[in-house]
């Protein structure tokens, strides 16, 4: 009887958890849905290459093993695979941003499993993939709009650090910026995507802190928290760089690739994800 009771108490106290997840973010049109579909099916392969047992509209259950391609049939190779959920954030862009950000503000981010079979169980968030359109970033409004969204995402991750309770650091949250559409000759290479985004995030940061000062709040009225509120990255740094996010346990990598057409493909993204789930 005692073991049964113990088991009962244990399961009552431990919320049921499901597979870990990786969240896809980014402006609409960047290629999130295309990427999800590619990883699910493999490149134009007639039969699904990935082992996946269930699927809902915008998320898939995938399995990744060390040193294998997303096109590898893991069942056939018998490799030890790690399973995870790749979750898109569908809906209106504004809503999508709000939804996604609400997941990220907790010290140990979880999302409600989108798999019906999980009955809303919590899935631990392991990494973010922020997809950008490297061709669109070459001109026009795409750069400021993309950077604005990325700023919110990174700032939310940074704030988790200040909001933590006790001495326990929040879970580290790696972010992959997937510079997509490198098959297009107009696309910026990953290094330029990185430096352009860093420069634009720096501009947003400066504009926000000026805005705070212009709003009539004197420098003396600003307490440490206000400064922490909107300032992304390291204090006192003139230029913003992704490396500054390491201070908050947020590792940012920018890797180029493409979902359709000829180019570097999606293998590096797959490997990056596989190392973090
Ligand atoms: P989402 O809004 O982020 O989910 O973007 P979608 O996945 O719907 O993609 C938007 C458009 O970009 C679609 O027409 C895709 O076919 C196209 N697209 C996605 N990835 C690539 C790519 O690597 N290269 C090119 N040339 N087009 C792409």
Q: What is the ipTM of this complex?
A: 0.99
Per-residue pLDDT at 5: 58
For residue range 105-140, list pLDDT tens digits in order: 887 888 877 777 777 788 899 999 999 999 999 887
> What's the rounded Cα separation, in Å, for the pair 269 and 178?
7
In a domain, 253, yes or no: yes
In a domain, 73, yes or no: yes
Per-residue pLDDT at 8: 53
In a domain, 243, yes or no: yes
In a domain, 11, yes or no: no
Q: Please list the ranges in the chain whose pLDDT falls under 70.
A: 1-17, 43-57, 76-79, 90-97, 163-167, 212-229
Look-up of token digits 């997840």: 21
In a domain, 6, yes or no: no
Per-residue DSSP letter, 17: B
Dihedral of alpha carbons 129, 133, 138, 140, sign? negative
Give the Å distance between the CA of 30 and the centre of ligand 1.
6
In a domain, 225, yes or no: yes
Q: 193 CB contacts (<8 Å, ≥6 apart)? A: 132, 134, 137, 177, 179, 254, 256
pTM: 0.84
> What's the rounded Cα separation, in Å, for the pair 244 and 129?
19
Hey, whose CA ends up nearest to atom 19 of ligand 1? Answer: 31
Name which of 44, 41, 92, 47 is nearest 70 in CA terms: 41
Give the count of domains, the chain: 1
Count Cα neighbours of 118 within 13 Å in the Cβ-side half-sphere: 22
Give the Å distance between the CA of 186 and the centre of ligand 1.
15
């Amino acid at each position: 009887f005692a073991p049964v009771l113990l088991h009962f108490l244990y399961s009552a106290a431990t919320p049921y958890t499901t597979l870990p997840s990786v969240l896809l973010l980014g402006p609409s049109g960047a290629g999130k849905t295309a990427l999800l579909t590619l990883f699910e099916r493999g490149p134009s392969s007639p039969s699904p290459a990935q082992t996946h047992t269930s699927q809902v509209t915008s998320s898939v259950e995938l399995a990744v093993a060390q040193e294998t391609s997303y096109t590898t049939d893991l069942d056939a190779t018998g490799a030890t695979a790690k399973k995870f959920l790749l979750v898109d954030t569908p809906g209106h862009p504004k809503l999508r941003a709000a939804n996604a950000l609400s997941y990220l503000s907790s010290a140990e981010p979880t999302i409600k499993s989108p798999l019906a079979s999980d009955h809303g169980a919590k899935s631990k968030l392991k990494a973010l993939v922020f997809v950008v359109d490297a061709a669109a970033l070459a001109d026009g409004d795409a750069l400021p709009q993309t950077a604005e969204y990325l700023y919110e995402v990174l700032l939310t991750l940074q704030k988790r650090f200040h909001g933590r309770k006790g001495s326990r650091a929040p879970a580290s949250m790696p972010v992959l910026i997937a510079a997509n559409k490198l098959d297009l000759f107009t696309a910026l290479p990953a290094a330029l995507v990185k430096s352009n985004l860093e420069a634009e995030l720096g501009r947003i940061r400066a504009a926000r802190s000026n805005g705070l000062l212009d709003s009539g709040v004197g420098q003396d009225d600003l307490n440490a928290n206000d400064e922490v509120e909107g300032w992304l990255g390291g204090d006192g740094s003139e230029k913003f760089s992704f490396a500054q996010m390491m201070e908050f346990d947020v590792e940012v990598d920018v890797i180029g690739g493409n979902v359709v057409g000829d180019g570097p493909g999606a293998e590096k993204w797959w490997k990056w994800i596989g190392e973090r789930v």
